């Protein structure tokens, strides 16, 4: 849930070799999504992120869009079933264009 995501977000910058983060269906809400996205910005080695089947909300998506700008190694991003609307998708796109290794977005 959100509390676990907040704790994980604090630890992410110390995970210098982390390549895959799978938090599929972990009960993440807006607070957890927001905190997690802030931590993800400090993980330049990430290649895959799955936040599918959560509800990170508009604020979480906005913060993720900012974090994506520093994730140059990201190859795969999964946000399936997060209720991303058109405005949120546009915001994500501004960050995704910075992910030079990107191969797949779901």
87 pLDDT above the threshold of 90:
yes
Tell me the two tokens of residue 4: 């676990």
pLDDT of residue 28: 93
pLDDT of residue 73: 96
Beta strands in the chain (DSSP E): 20-22, 48-50, 76-78, 104-105
pLDDT tens for 15-38 read: 999 999 999 999 999 999 999 999
* DSSP helix/strand/coil, 18: coil
pLDDT of residue 1: 86
94 pLDDT above the threshold of 90:
yes
Which strand ranges, in their side-by-side order, compose the sheet holding 48-50?
20-22, 48-50, 76-78, 104-105
Of 50, 52, 48, residue with least CA distance to 20: 48
pTM: 0.91
Mean pLDDT, the chain, rounded, equals 94
Q: What's the rounded mean pLDDT across residues 45-59? A: 95
Tell me the two tokens of residue 16: 């210098």
Q: Is there a contact between 96 and 102 (Cβ–Cβ < 8 Å)?
A: yes
Beta bridge partners of 22: 50
């Amino acid at each position: 849930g959100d509390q676990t995501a907040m704790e994980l977000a604090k630890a992410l910058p110390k995970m210098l070799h982390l390549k895959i983060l799978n938090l599929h269906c972990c009960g993440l809400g807006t607070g957890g999504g927001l905190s997690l996205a802030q931590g993800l910005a400090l993980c330049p080695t990430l290649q895959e992120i799955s936040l599918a089947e959560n509800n990170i909300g508009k604020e979480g998506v906005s913060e993720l869009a900012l974090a994506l700008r520093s994730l140059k190694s990201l190859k795969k991003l999964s946000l399936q079933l997060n209720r991303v609307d058109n405005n949120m998708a546009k915001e994500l796109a501004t960050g995704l264009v910075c992910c030079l290794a990107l191969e797949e977005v779901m």
